[in-house]
Amino acid sequence: MWGGRFAAGPDAIMEAINASIGFDKRMASQDIAGSRAHAAMLAATGVISDSDAEAIREGLLTVLSEIEAGSFAFSTALEDIHMNVEARLKEIIGEPAGRLHTGRSRNDQVATDFKLWVRDQFDAAEAGLIALIRALLTQAAAGADWVMPGFTHLQTAQPVTWGHHMMAYVEMFGRDLSRVRDARKRMNESPLGAAALAGTSFPIDRHMTAEALGFDRPSANSLDAVSDRDFALEFLSVASISAMHLSRMAEELVIWSSAQFRFVALSDRFSTGSSIMPQKKNPDAAELIRAKIGRIFGANTALMMVMKGLPLAYSKDMQEDKEQVFDAADNWMLALAAMEGMVKDMTANRDNLAAAAGSGFSTATDLADWLVRVLKVPFRDAHHVTGTLVAMAEQKGCDLPDLTLADMQSVHAGITEDVFSVLGVENSVNSRMSYGGTAPAQVREQIARWTALLG
């Protein structure tokens, strides 16, 4: 493979550390697509003959069919997917195969292959996020007016609606969708034709290959083109943020499906049993999502460490980029699909949600707001009055609505019977009509907005 520069082949250990075919064969279809575009361009610019280009095209299709059929024999001695494909192409078509690599290097070739692969993963992530958002919208629409407790510090805070809680995740995953689309657009420049690092003296047409491969334009600097892995880092960064959102929701599903909460029931399709306890129904899919997220975070950190000290242009260190991205992509796509499945199948327990919504003095803020709005009490004073009433209710072993008017007037003489109109959880959520609030009318507006956005 190395021609005349080396008198002996590599040591077995060198071969083992140097070879990447064990993992970069995943980019076979992208490698062949790039080679086909490159060969067509070489013929169009007169660098190689039309007959050679046609032989290369047909030979590459044969190689691709062998790989897809599982009959292709990959060789670690040939290091990577590029040389494996080229060597087999030479066996099939002979001398014309040697002209394919004119005007390019493995440096720009691997950057192109990898970009094409990552771009495909961005497209898959977009589809997965849209499917998950649609599942959440369906849940939100079904329970737009179902009351449940809203939490801070995992303590009951104020009543909200089930629909509002689902829409919070729609917003989270919607930002992920925006990041996916933004990163995909930014990465869509073709490295092909940058060659080793300095471009080439052959009269190639990089715009032609960029267009053939679906890129918006060729990259503008050959040094940067072969040494850039920002697209991979950005993929991992976007995946990490999205994975964090998936993990947060997974955590809630684990809590909500527990016997202590019983807010939701997960379907049998996304639960498992116990080998010893017949009553158990474990939320294993949610737990595994929560765990797999660490692999995505780890991949992001690992590739940052690989790239942080590399001088321009290409260094062999960059071979360590792919396994990180491949593993993160696999786990992100799996987590998205599993979460979509759980959300689609889960059943919210409306009665349990409603019962919990009124516990823990969840309407205390409504009482304080009433004091401000009706009695014109300064909010800090209203906060103090309400806190005193909460302590009284706690001492009596009851909730705020169960206090008598006399109890309340003993703390603030101006309180009237009207105060009880704001202490019910239904009244509480219906009153939160500020934009983005939990009132069912506001929730339905946001559902309609997102439904229109997704088309």
Contact between 1 and 29 under an 8 Å Cβ cutoff? The reply is: no
Strand 155-161, strand 147-152: pairing = antiparallel
* Helices 81-93 + 106-142 axis angle, to 10: 120
Largest CA distance in the chain: 100
Task: Indicate the Cα dihedral angle 27, 29, 31, 33, nearest 10°.
Answer: -150
Strands in 166-207 per DSSP E: 189-190
CA distance 178 to 242: 11
Contact between 157 and 432 under an 8 Å Cβ cutoff? The reply is: no
Q: Which of 71, 153, 201, 275 is catalytic?
A: 153
CA distance 117 to 159: 46
Contact between 293 and 335 under an 8 Å Cβ cutoff? The reply is: yes
DSSP-derived secondary structure letter, 218:
E
Q: How far is CA 455 from the centre of its chain?
A: 21
Strands in 365-433 per DSSP E: none
Contact between 176 and 238 under an 8 Å Cβ cutoff? The reply is: yes
Q: How far is CA 65 from the centre of its chain?
A: 32
Residues 6+ apart with CB under 8 A from 52: 39, 43, 96, 99
DSSP-derived secondary structure letter, 272:
B
Locate 207 and state its tokens. Answer: 């715009």
274 tagged catalytic? yes
Instruction: Provide the residue count of the chain.
Output: 455
CA distance 229 to 75: 26
3 state DSSP class of 79:
coil
Question: How many helices (DSSP H) and strands (DSSP E) are in the chain?
Answer: 18, 6
Q: Which of 51, 75, 258, 274 is catalytic?
A: 274
State the amino acid at position 218 in one-letter form: P
165 tagged catalytic? no
Q: Which residues pair with 272 in a beta bridge?
A: 282
Catalytic residues: 153, 274
